[in-house]
């Protein structure tokens, strides 16, 4: 099987985030970056499927030059090769269009993504990618079963619904799945894996290489605001004080 995993590079979880001087996004100059945690679960599922069915795992990511560091991290964990689409696009449609164009000639049997990103959390890249590639898709996946084992042609998945309910779906391959976080226990990169990652291929593609013109799909953030810290004190006096306090706690604070 050929399995492609779309991953994203996001700021380190414990990073101190500051708004940039233009107030259009966070200041990235002194930040450290890592693989998006939901995508790490998608990668782990891909590696386990390869161990069962054979084949290869390709990781693909779109973004600036620093993204290659995160692709190397995925290669160190066991992915076979990487594709880096050098892109400045930050919106879901632009990213999905770049990934779709780069993956089309690869013809993977299965494409996995994380459920959403830790930074923007749109949760749309996987489903838009499936639409652009005209492939069946399913989201919030809790289990993946490739059938039959000897010559995979379909996938049976268990997806999470609301209120403790689950849904079982069978789809033909190729397909696109967005993986729920916590599906598997994540593995660490071994010393041998880190050494091997240095020799594994990362194919670099520009926006023109994949036929997606810069700025053809774009949204712009006009302004980013930090939450304002405010203090307010209300005093309730007299006979109706208790009733007023209960009303505030119930309808404004919503703690009752």
Digit-by-digit pLDDT tens for the chain (256 residues) are 999 999 999 999 888 888 888 888 888 888 889 999 999 999 999 999 999 999 999 999 999 999 999 999 999 999 999 999 998 777 888 899 999 999 999 999 999 999 999 888 889 999 999 999 999 999 999 999 999 877 789 999 999 998 889 999 999 999 999 999 998 999 999 999 999 999 999 999 998 888 776 655 567 778 888 777 777 788 888 888 888 888 888 888 778 7
User: Is residue 239 included in any domain, yes or no?
Assistant: no
pLDDT number for residue 200: 96
For residue 156, list its beta bridge partners: 145, 170
Number of domains within the chain: 1
User: Is residue 234 included in any domain, yes or no?
Assistant: no
pLDDT number for residue 177: 98
**β-strands 2-6, 202-206: how paired?**
unpaired
**β-strands 202-206, 154-160: how paired?**
unpaired
User: Is residue 87 included in any domain, yes or no?
Assistant: yes
User: Is residue 241 included in any domain, yes or no?
Assistant: no
- Please report the beta strands in the chain, taking only residues with DSSP state E, as ranges in sequence order: 2-6, 9-11, 33-35, 56-63, 81-86, 110-114, 137-147, 154-160, 166-172, 175-179, 202-206
By CB neighbour count within 10 A (0-12 exposed, 13-18 middle, 19+ buried), where does 176 fall? buried
User: Is residue 249 included in any domain, yes or no?
Assistant: no
User: Is residue 232 included in any domain, yes or no?
Assistant: no
| Rounded distance between C-alpha atoms, residue 126 and residue 76, angstroms | 24
Q: How far is CA 230 from CA 233, 248, 249, in A?
A: 10, 18, 18
Note down the domain range covering 135: 2-227
Question: What element of type H or E holds 69?
Answer: helix 67-77
Q: Identify whether the C-beta of residue 71 lies closer than 8 Å to the C-beta of residue 202.
A: yes
CATH number for the domain including 30?
A: 3.40.50.620
User: Is residue 242 included in any domain, yes or no?
Assistant: no
- Taking the mean position of all CA atoms in its chain, how far away is CA 141? 13
């Amino acid at each position: 099987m050929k399995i492609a995993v779309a991953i994203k590079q996001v700021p380190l979880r414990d990073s101190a985030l500051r708004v940039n001087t233009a107030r259009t996004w966070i200041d990235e100059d002194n930040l450290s970056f890592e693989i998006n945690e939901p995508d790490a679960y998608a990668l782990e599922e891909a590696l386990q499927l390869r161990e069962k069915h054979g084949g290869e795992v390709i990781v693909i990511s779109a973004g600036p030059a620093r993204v290659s560091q995160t692709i190397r991290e995925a290669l160190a964990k066991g992915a076979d090769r990487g594709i880096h689409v050098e892109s400045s696009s930050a919106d879901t449609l632009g990213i999905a269009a770049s990934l779709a164009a780069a993956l089309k000639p690869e013809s993977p049997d299965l494409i996995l993504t994380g459920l959403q990103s830790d930074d923007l959390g749109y949760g749309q890249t996987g489903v838009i990618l499936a639409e652009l590639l005209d492939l069946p898709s399913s989201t919030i996946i809790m289990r993946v079963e490739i059938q039959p084992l000897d010559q995979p042609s379909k996938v049976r998945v268990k997806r999470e619904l609301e209120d403790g309910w689950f849904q079982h779906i069978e789809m033909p391959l190729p397909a696109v799945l967005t993986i729920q976080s916590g599906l598997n226990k994540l593995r660490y990169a071994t010393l041998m894996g880190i050494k091997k990652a240095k020799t594994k291929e990362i194919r670099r593609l520009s926006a023109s290489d994949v036929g997606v013109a810069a700025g053809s799909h774009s949204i712009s953030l006009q302004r980013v605001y930090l939450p304002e810290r405010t203090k307010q004190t209300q005093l309730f006096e007299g006979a109706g004080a208790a009733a007023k306090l209960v009303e505030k706690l119930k309808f404004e604070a919503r703690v009752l």
